[in-house]
C-alpha cells in the first residue's frame, strides 16, 4: 500500500477532500520524523511506537580488501507494533 492508496482510502471513508487528507498525512509523517530526529519516541495507543534505537559499536570485515573496520555506535528509527495490532495481523494471517 502506498501513500496515495492511504490518502484514497481515507478520502473514500471520510469524504474529506483528497488535498486535505494528503496534507494531513504529510504533516503526520513530518511530526513523526521531527520527533525521532530530536530523540523523542512517538507512542500511538493501539497501533504502535516509533522509537529511536541505539546500535552499539561493532567490528566488521571488508571482504574485498580483507580488512577490519569499526562501525561506530549510531541511532536508527524503528517501529514496534502494539500487541493489539500484532494480534490482529496474526489472526488475519491464520485465516
Summarize the confidence of residues 39-64 as an average pLDDT.
95
If one counts the domains in the chain, the total is: 2
Residues 70 and 68: their CA atoms lie apart, in Å, by: 7
| pLDDT band of 31, cuts 50, 70, 90 | very high
The runs of H, that is alpha helices, within the chain are 3-14, 18-37, 83-94
Mean pLDDT of 66-71: 92
Residue 78 structural domain: 42-95
- Sequence-distant (≥ 6) Cβ neighbours of residue 35 within 8 angstroms: 41, 42, 50
Both 60 and 18 in one domain: the answer is: no
Q: 3 near 21, Cβ under 8 Å?
A: no
Q: Check which CATH number belongs to the domain holding 47 and give it.
A: 4.10.520.10
pLDDT of residue 30: 97
Do 23 and 47 lie in a common domain?
Answer: no
| Residue that has been written with the C-alpha cell 471513508 in this structure | 13
Q: What is the pLDDT of residue 22?
A: 97
- Do 64 and 34 have their domain in common? no
Q: Decide if pLDDT at 93 tops 80.
A: no
Amino acid at each position: 500500500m502506498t501513500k496515495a492508496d492511504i490518502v484514497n482510502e481515507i478520502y473514500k471513508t471520510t469524504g474529506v477532500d483528497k488535498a486535505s487528507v494528503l496534507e494531513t498525512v504529510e504533516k503526520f509523517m513530518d511530526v513523526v520524523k521531527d520527533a525521532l530526529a530530536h530523540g523523542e519516541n512517538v507512542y500511538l495507543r493501539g497501533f504502535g511506537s516509533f522509537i529511536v534505537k541505539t546500535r552499539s559499536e561493532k567490528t566488521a570485515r571488508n571482504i574485498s580488501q580483507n580488512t577490519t573496520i569499526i562501525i561506530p555506535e549510531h541511532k536508527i528509527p524503528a517501529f514496534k507494533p502494539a500487541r493489539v495490532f500484532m494480534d490482529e495481523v496474526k489472526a488475519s494471517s491464520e485465516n
